Amino acid sequence: MVPQNLCQLCKCLFLSKLKLNSVNVAGLARRIHSSSQKLSDSESQEQTVQKCESEELPQNTENSDSGRLHIPVMLEEVVNCLSPQPGQCFLDMTFGAGGHTAALLERARDITVYALDRDPTAHSMAQQLAAAYPNQLQPLLGRFSQSEALLISSGVEPGTLDGVLLDAGCSSMQLDTPERGFSLQKDGPLDMRMDRDRCPGMATAADVVNALDRRALAAVLSAYGEERHARRIASAIVQARSIYPITSTRQLASIVAGAFPASALYARKDLLQRPVHVATKTFQGLRIFVNDELHELLIGLKTAEKFLRPGGRLVALSFHSLEDRIIKRFLHGIDMTEKHNLGSKQKIRQALKNASKGEDTQGSPCGKSNSKWISIHKKVLTPQAKDIQTNPRGRSAKLRAAIKL
């Protein structure tokens, strides 16, 4: 049986991580499905099943650029927005392969960069780069939610940073490493933890798909993957795991594909009109849920605001609408719980509701508070055509930059 603490962990994860989304948690069932015993009792059966599933999935172009060196997204725009000057101090909250940090160090002399990343592999790369920039680059290992403590322990006081870069989402290094379990095109253990084994108690994607019930799974896929067919996919997952535990990426991709007719396998298109596997949004939803990415993003933005000096610059890169919505609302001072895309009548009702509560609607209409930021650009920046051709994975990037008032 699944250990009791794992069951409790999955329950707590599910209840806490949906707070940033408009999902009615109260109506969801909270039964936890046990699968560890099945895993230990049916190893030979699983090997047989995996042989049946070992046929190659049709290849799409989503990972055609895998294996090449990591290319920083919108590098020129990021550096220009941060506008590093000699002697300034910056925080790169998602070091990754270090492309943005290296560009900052090359642009201006005698600057200091604190390089944060939750991935131990990225942290090791930051340590290697630090050897080339002694006393200028300080690697930090941790999540956004740990960044405040890490900065203070490193001697950084709130209100002293000149610039902060926050690059949300998954890195190419993680996608291109099969044993990390992020890519549906490469078979590997269904893991998806950005922290790897640094946090032993953290649930993996396999724990989630084998533990949450159908309604809870559907809610996760709908809220985090923005998957229209979340119920159908959740039902297929529950049905499959009743026969054998789901433990690999290819296994899950095959189960999701089996819930649709063959013609729908690559019917979806990306922004470049390239075919996208039908399980892509399922993998996105599970990854965001497992790593608590949206909650971490909001904490990261708040930490950036706290440690930036007045006049300091924040540059935030996002790669899907959930991330961009949080960043946009934060920079505009909009309450995260307020519904987006309100109609005119709804805005009037909201304003009347605020007025009845005695709130100051003149200074902050429709639930909007006074922003503490001024945007550097009037509109969100997106990659140029030449950048997309060089780095297709960055095609959906959106860059928002602002100066702290």
Distance CA 36, CA 268 (A): 34
Q: Give the C-alpha distances (Å, rounded to integers) separating 340 from 18, 21, 23, 321, 335.
A: 16, 11, 14, 12, 10
Distance CA 393, CA 155 (A): 36
Please report the pLDDT score of residue 29 as a whole number.
29
pTM of this prediction?
0.79
Tokens of 180: 């990390």
> At residue 345, does pLDDT exceed 60?
no
Tens digits of per-residue pLDDT, 108-121?
A: 999 999 999 999 99
**pLDDT interval class at 64 (50, 70, 90):** very low
Tokens of 277: 């596997």
* Of 237 and 168, more confident: 237
> At residue 154, does pLDDT exceed 70?
yes
Distance CA 96, CA 93 (A): 9
What are the E-state strand segments in 242-397?
268-269, 275-276, 308-318, 373-375
Q: Quick check: 227 and 233 in contact, CB under 8 A? A: yes
Lowest pLDDT segment from 27-36, 281-290, 339-348: 27-36
Mean pLDDT, the chain, whole residue set: 80
Tokens of 290: 């497992």
Please report the sign of the dihedral spanned by the C-alpha atoms of residue 248, residue 254, residue 259, residue 265.
positive
Nearest of 4, 57, 68, 67 to residue 32 by alpha carbon:
4
User: What's 346's DSSP letter?
Assistant: H
* Of 56 and 190, more confident: 190
Please report the pLDDT score of residue 23 as a whole number.
37
Other C-beta atoms lying within 10 Å of the C-beta of residue 175: 20
Distance CA 386, CA 382 (A): 12
Distance CA 319, CA 339 (A): 21
What are the E-state strand segments in 100-186?
112-117, 137-141, 161-167
Q: Quick check: 222 and 315 in contact, CB under 8 A? A: no
Please report the pLDDT score of residue 387 as a whole number.
83
Summarize the confidence of residues 350-375 as an average pLDDT.
Answer: 60
Task: Identify the H or E element spanning 315.
Answer: strand 308-318
Tokens of 321: 């609408």
Please report the pLDDT score of residue 342 as a whole number.
59
**pLDDT interval class at 186 (50, 70, 90):** confident
The residues pairing with 73 across neighbouring beta strands, listed in sequence order, are none
